[in-house]
Structure 1
Amino acid sequence: PANPADWKYTEIMTLAFGTGPIMVSPIGLAQAYCCLANGGIRKQPRIVDGYIGNRDGKFYSDPVASGERVVSQEVADSVRHMLRDVVESENSQAKSEWYDVGGKTGTALKWKVDHYSKDHRLLSFAGVAPIDEPKLVAVVMIDEPTGVKYGNQAAAPVFRRIVEDTLAYLHVRPDRVPEQTPTPALTLPVEEEEPMMARAEPEDPVLPPHQEESTAIPPAPTASEGRGLLSLLDRVAQRLGDEDESPDGRLDR
């Protein structure tokens, strides 16, 4: 019922932990978590930060409303840290190695004709990060996933990935840096070595006279030797040109 005065006593108890006859959209749920991130202040959600004028092409920011206080700063901080304790549990798939995050899973049965069906579920996770200085609120909802039944299985890992990627994109300093897991050393089986047979060391090879090693630098050719070498190269080049020339005076390529 819209009027809290019409709520049943059992509905009040079940609504306190997020179950019972309650309907909420992802935007509405995100707005509630934004109250915790903003220290208890509720603000109107916006899709854009501003707009660009058609005539002048200038950017005009959309003024942000001051909002209204719905819970005290102390309550908002306390609930936010409670949500962190939920994520810090060992089996939470929303836990990040880089940032302190807080949030809660949602596992809702969908209404089918005249009953709630256990085979048709809406799994979700809503949270805020980082806890001490919030920069991001995210809500993940997965409709009727296959193979999983709980929000911690389907939605929480997606939330963690969104938080880590978005905060890194916004250059938000991590709360911690995970330790690098050392690579295990590769252990190879030790093979028994065969006993080595005694063998004679090879003798130094005997080189022919023209292959004898020498560290002496050969002398530079004289001027007359250089002119003779150039003349020889010219004659060789002329001879090769005469052989390549075809009978009709053209060169064969």
Structure 2
Amino acid sequence: MKRLMLPAAAVFILLVLMLPALLVWNAPRHPPAGPEAEKDYKIKMLDTAAGKVTELPLETYLVGVLAAEMPAEFSAEALKAQVLAARTYAAKRMAYFGAVPGPRHPEADICTNPVHCQAWVSPDTLESRWGKLKYAYYYHKIRQAVAATRGQVLTYAGQLIDPVYHGSCGRRGTEDAGEVWGREVPYLRGVECKWEADNPKNRAERQMTMAEVLRLIDGGAPGGKPEAITVLSQTAAGRLKEVKVGGRVLRGSNFRSALGLGSALVSWHISGDTVYFKT
């Protein structure tokens, strides 16, 4: 997943109107039953920091993902929900279950870059981060959440879903998949969010020159006045849907990504040659 975002740090949210039923492993190829459901599937992971591919048991990999994507202080049920999404996300990208490796890492099923795949941390890193006493407690708690959901994934119409998740709903709730990607996904529907209005992490300011804006938008925006950034349309939640920069029209999500903004829920004003963004 798919995915739009930084590691899930504060709030775990799926863009799902109605969650599919939780089923014992129902992958696209050879859904296991009986003893097969307890098999240690192997996943090939590209450690982007180390620059190497490692093959490890899926459930072991998920311990590192859960520790990276959600604070261990969260409740056991929250951790279980997160690991269900993480396991489904990983399984959908595994060659064992029929997935085709992506062009960014054709030698691996998944990578540890949270912008592209899922975050992951090693046990050594966790011990260094938490200290020995907290490590013993938190690592056990995370392993329990993984073990308690072993063999469980999220499906829709008998197929693994693409469980995109993120750390914040951005104050106004989530969006339908069609509003973000331009293609509808029946189980990814926008939902209202009432818990993030006062979260300071949802607000940020950034400034850059107009020349920098044009450079980041594919090296320039020919055919129009360089000082013009115009909103053409917005989503139901108020995020950018289409924006015009000079003579070029972009999807709001592409505009946000190109400029490195934290959200498509953004406003701006221009003073001289400087653009001041507020998300």
Give the alignment's TM-score, normalised by structure 1. Answer: 0.20
Greater length-normalized contact order (CA 8 Å, ≥ 6 residues apart): 2
